[in-house]
Amino acid sequence: MGKRILALILAGLLMCGVAFCENDWSEEWASSVVVDVDWDNIYLFEGYIEQTLNEHLNNVHTPHITLGESLSGADLALYEILRDTISRVASTGHFVKSITLPYEVLGLTKSTYTAQELGVSSVKSWVHSHKHISDAINPMLGLETEKVGFALEYDMPYDLYWTTFIRFEHDIQFSSKELYLKQFKIEFGNKFAEHTLSEKTCETIIDEVHNAMENADAIVKAHAKESDYDKLRSYEETICDMVSYNYELAGVQRFHGTREEYEVESAFGQEYFWVFDGDADTNVVCNGYAKAFKYLCDISNFDGEVLCSTVSGGLEGINHAWNVVKMPDGNNYLVDVTNCDDGLIGEGDRLFLRGSTNGDVFTGYTIPVNSRAMRYRYDEILLSLVDLDMLALATQDYTPDSAVR
C-alpha cells in the first residue's frame, strides 16, 4: 500500500531508577504488597476493550516461546508478581499505578550492607558516584530487570495494552558506613494518564473493537477449510489489504490532527485490532502487523502443529518486529508481514515462510529478496532468554508440499 520504508517498532520503555533517602534508620514500612488503584473511568473503559479482545482468544495455542520460564531466582519471583498484576489489570480495567514490595518476596533476605561488604571506604560517596545507582544495586542482588520486562512484553503482549512503561525503583537509606534497602517499587505508565478521551471518542473506539473482532472472526471462518499453508498465506494477504503503515506514529511524517487524536493514535497504533477495524485511517507500525498475524493464528484451528510467535530485533540496523512460525514439518520459518505489503521489497510472498542458508541465531539471518540481501537479527535480550532452537530458521523455504515430520 505504497509504503516505502522499513517499519519501526516502538518498544515499550523499561526504566530503572532509585529514590534517595537519608532519614533515620528507625523508619518502618508495610511488609505486604501495596497496590494503588485509580478508579478513573478511562481505565475501566480500556479494561473493557481488553476483555472484549480476550473473549475472542478462546482457542489460543500455547505460546511458541515463553520467556518467563527461562528466568530464575529474584528475576523469576519479580516476573511472576508482575505477570499476575498485569493480567489482573487487563481483565478488570482497574489501573495499577504502582506496587511496593518488601525484598523478601523476591527471595532477598539481606537488607543491610556495610562499606566493607561493598568494598568501598564510604557508602555515601559510593552512592553519589553512580548516575544510576540501580546499575550497581541490581547486580549485587542478582536482579536483571531489563530481562524481566522484556519477558513480560514478549509473553503477554495482549495484556500490556494499558501501560507505556514499567519503572523499577530501589528505595534506600544510607550513611557513610551502611546501605539499607527499604523496599522495591514498581511504577506503571498509563497511555491515558495525561489526556482523558472524550465520551464520543470512547464510544467510537468501543464500536471499532466490536467491529474489528467480528472482522477477525470472519477472516478465520472464510479460510477455515484451507490447508495450513494456504490459511497462513491468506492471513498475510488479508492483513496487507486491510491496513497501511503508520508513518506518523513512526515519526517519519508529521502528525496532522488534534492532541486527542494523537493520544488515540499513540495508544492504539501498535494494537492488532486496528488492523481489523475496516477503517483506512487507523493504521499501525510493524508491531501491529506482526501482532495481527499472530492473533489470527491464535484463534485458528490447524490440521498440523502451527505455532506463531512475534519476535523483535533489527532489520538492516532498524528496529523491527516480525513473526517466526513453526510449521507441521517441525521447522521454523520467518514471516515479515509488514514488508510483504504492496510496494515493499517483500511484496507478495517474498518474505513469507522463508528459511535461510546464511547466518544463525546469534549473527542473524540473511534472506535474499530479488537482488537484495535482507539481514534479520534477533534482540540480544531475546537470545539470552530462550532455547535458541526455537529461533533457528530452516535452511530452506517452506512449500505446501514440505514433508510433514
Question: Residue 281 — very low, low, confident or very high, per pLDDT cuts 50/70/90?
Answer: confident
Q: At what angle do helices 41-54 and 73-92 cross, to 10 degrees?
A: 100
pLDDT of residue 93 exceeding 70: no
Residue with the larger pLDDT of the pair 378 and 91: 378
Bridge partners of 284? 245
Strand, coil or helix: 277: coil
Region of poorest pLDDT, from 126-130, 138-142, 175-179, 204-208: 204-208
Instruction: Let me know the angle formed at the C-alpha of 20 by 14 and 24, rounded to the nearest 5 degrees.
Output: 145
> Of 95, 12, 39, which is closest to residue 267 (Cα–Cα)?
12
154-196 tens-digit pLDDT: 888 667 766 767 888 898 888 889 999 999 999 887 654 444 4
> Of 188, 185, 182, 165, which is closest to residue 33 (Cα–Cα)?
185
Backbone phi, psi, residue 148, to 5°: -60, -45
Task: State the average pLDDT over residues 194-207.
Answer: 54
Question: Residue 233 — very low, low, confident or very high, per pLDDT cuts 50/70/90?
Answer: very high
Question: Residue 260 — very low, low, confident or very high, per pLDDT cuts 50/70/90?
Answer: low
- Rg, Å, the chain Cα set: 23
> Of 399, 350, 394, which is closest to residue 372 (Cα–Cα)?
350
> Of 12, 19, 33, 38, which is closest to residue 80 (Cα–Cα)?
33
pLDDT at 313: 93
Q: Within 10 Å of residue 230's Cβ, how many Cβ atoms?
A: 12
Backbone phi, psi, residue 390, to 5°: -75, -15
- Mean pLDDT of all residues in the chain? 77
283-305 burial, b for 16+ CB within 10 Å, e for fewer? bbbbbbbbbbbbbbbbbbebeee
pLDDT of residue 240 exceeding 90: yes
Task: State percent of the chain over pLDDT 90.
Answer: 39
E strand intervals along 52-137: 95-101, 112-114
In the chain, where are the structural domains located?
13-190, 199-390
Burial class (CB in 10 A: 0-12, 13-18, 19+), 270: buried
Bridge partners of 105? none
pLDDT at 94: 66
**C-alpha to C-alpha distance for 338 and 340, rounded to whole angstroms:** 5
Task: State the average pLDDT over residues 209-237.
Answer: 92
Region of poorest pLDDT, from 13-17, 81-85, 150-154: 13-17
pLDDT at 67: 87
pLDDT at 303: 94
Which helix (H) or strand (E) is 123 found in, with range? helix 123-128
pLDDT at 304: 93
Q: Please answer whether residues 74 and 108 qualify as being in contact, where contact means their C-beta atoms are separated by less than 8 angstroms.
A: yes
- Here the cell at position 178 is 551502611
Residue with the larger pLDDT of the pair 135 and 301: 301
pLDDT at 197: 47
Strand, coil or helix: 32: coil
- Dihedral angle of Cα 124, 129, 134, 137, to the nearest 10 degrees: -60
Which helix (H) or strand (E) is 313 found in, with range? strand 307-315
Region of poorest pLDDT, from 46-50, 157-161, 244-248: 46-50
Task: State the average pLDDT over residues 124-145.
Answer: 87
pLDDT of residue 38 exceeding 80: no
Q: Which residue has the cell 547486580?
A: 139
- Dihedral angle of Cα 19, 22, 26, 31, to the nearest 10 degrees: 10
Question: Residue 394 — very low, low, confident or very high, per pLDDT cuts 50/70/90?
Answer: very high
pLDDT at 161: 63
49-85 tens-digit pLDDT: 655 666 555 544 444 567 898 999 999 999 999 999 9
Amino acid at 240: C
Residue with the larger pLDDT of the pair 340 and 94: 340
Task: State the average pLDDT over residues 205-230.
Answer: 87
The CATH topology of domain 199-390 is C8orf32 fold (3.10.620)
